[in-house]
Structure 1
Amino acid sequence: MKILCAIAPARFRDEELLVPQQTFSDADVETVVASTHTGTCEGMIGATAEATVSFADVSPADYNAIVVVGGIGAQDVLWNDAELKRLVQEFNGAGKVVAAICLSPVVLARAGILPGREATVFRSPASIREIEKGGARLSERPVVTDGNVVTADGPSAAEEFARAILSLLL
Structure 2
Amino acid sequence: MTEQKKILMVIAQENFRDEEFLKPKKVFEDSGAKVTVASNTTKKAKGVLGKKVSPDISISDVNIDDYDAISITGGGGAKQYLWDNKELQEIVRKANEQGKIIGAICIAPVVLANAGLLEGKMTTVFKNEETVKILKDNDAKYRDKDVMVDGNIITGRDPNAANKYGQAVIKALK
Tell me if structure 1 keeps the 8 A contact 2:11–2:74: yes
Separation (CA, whole Å) in 1 of partners of 2:139 and 2:147: 18
2:101 maps to amino acid? V
**Alignment correspondent of 1:17:** 21
Separation (CA, whole Å) in 2 of partners of 1:126 and 1:11: 18
User: Which of 41, 49, 52 matches 1:48?
Assistant: 52
Deviation at 1:26, TM superposition (A): 0.7
1:93-122 superposed Cα distances (whole Å, 9 cap, x missing partner): 110000000000000000001111000000
The normalised TM-score by structure 1 is: 0.98
Tell me if structure 1 keeps the 8 A contact 2:42–2:55: yes
Task: Count matched residues.
Answer: 170
Tell me if structure 2 keeps the 8 A contact 1:5–1:34: yes
The normalised TM-score by structure 2 is: 0.96
Correspondences of 1:1-170 after superposition (within 5 Å)? 1-170=5-174
Separation (CA, whole Å) in 2 of partners of 1:94 and 1:35: 22
Separation (CA, whole Å) in 2 of partners of 1:156 and 1:20: 11
1:129-151 superposed Cα distances (whole Å, 9 cap, x missing partner): 11111110000111000000000
1:33 maps to amino acid? V
Separation (CA, whole Å) in 2 of partners of 1:159 and 1:58: 25
1:72-96 superposed Cα distances (whole Å, 9 cap, x missing partner): 0001111111111111101111100
Identity level (%)? 38
